[in-house]
Amino acid sequence: MSSEKSEAIVLRAVPWSETSFVVTLFTRDFGRVSAIAKGARRLKSPFESSLDLLAKSHVVFIHKGHDTLDLLTEAKLSRRFRSGQIALLPLYCGYYVAELLLSLTEDHQKLNDLFEICDQTLIDLDSGFSPPELVLRFEMQLLRVLGHLPTFHLCASCGNPVQSHGSGQDTRLGIAAGGVLCPECLPGQRHVLRITAPVLEYLMEYATQPWEQMPTSIEPECRGELRFVMERFISNLADKRLRLTDFLEELKR
């Protein structure tokens, strides 16, 4: 078994024994990795603060196999997540990013683009940029990379074009169907939301703009509806309501 090296962001650290943690890392080269960090709970730990939540570190680990935890042998801190020094909301947004990755990705699923998106989101939160825009950008780009982005122009049920959204009329978004629905396909559909034209425009824009581009500012009157749509869509994908959702009420204002 050879050692693997990568940059990693710490998503979770759970006590495993009196001296060790089981850590979940999101790595640049190997996707999500779950590993035992032996000795990480000791006062003079060889890992020091490199395994703090959302810290970015250079790690070395031994891949044991699909049914066995990997073994983390080295971790050197590159950057701490410091949003807690700004305010609680950006701190909770960072925790929400971690929960999304824990809930919607799989171990050793290589997602190089997603690592960059996660890394830049945490940097921007630390830099004091507006959390509502950063969270929506991360959510939409996460859905795009994972192949779960809603359809916006074609009916998610029949595949036919849906009428233009520029008329000011509300659109029906099928949460279970995975996108907009035409009038003919609405009967019998489950978990259908009525969304206004401005909110649909934000969703489409955030889904298509380059992730490194600073996102367009969201008008306060649209934030509540956007959060409601994203909470329902992501809860359906994850098959549960994410725990950090309850801490992000301020994003709706």
Predicted TM-score (pTM) of this structure: 0.94
With respect to residue 109, please indicate whether it lies within any of the assigned structural domains. no
Is the pLDDT score of 2 beyond 80?
Answer: no
Q: For 47-105, how does the pLDDT look when each residue is reduced to its tens digit (9 = 90+)?
A: 988 999 999 999 999 998 777 899 999 999 999 999 999 899 999 999 999 999 999 99
With respect to residue 167, please indicate whether it lies within any of the assigned structural domains. no
With respect to residue 75, please indicate whether it lies within any of the assigned structural domains. yes
With respect to residue 63, please indicate whether it lies within any of the assigned structural domains. yes
**How many domains does the structure of the chain reveal?**
1
Please state the φ and ψ torsions of residue 194, each to the nearest 5 degrees: -95, 120
Q: What CATH number did the domain enclosing 38 receive?
A: 2.40.50.140
With respect to residue 147, please indicate whether it lies within any of the assigned structural domains. no
Q: For 30-52, how does the pLDDT look when each residue is reduced to its tens digit (9 = 90+)?
A: 999 999 999 998 878 889 889 99
Structural domain for 60, as ranges: 1-80
Q: Quick one: pLDDT at residue 1?
A: 66
With respect to residue 103, please indicate whether it lies within any of the assigned structural domains. no
**213 CB-near residues (< 8 Å, 6+ apart):** none
With respect to residue 178, please indicate whether it lies within any of the assigned structural domains. no
With respect to residue 250, please indicate whether it lies within any of the assigned structural domains. no
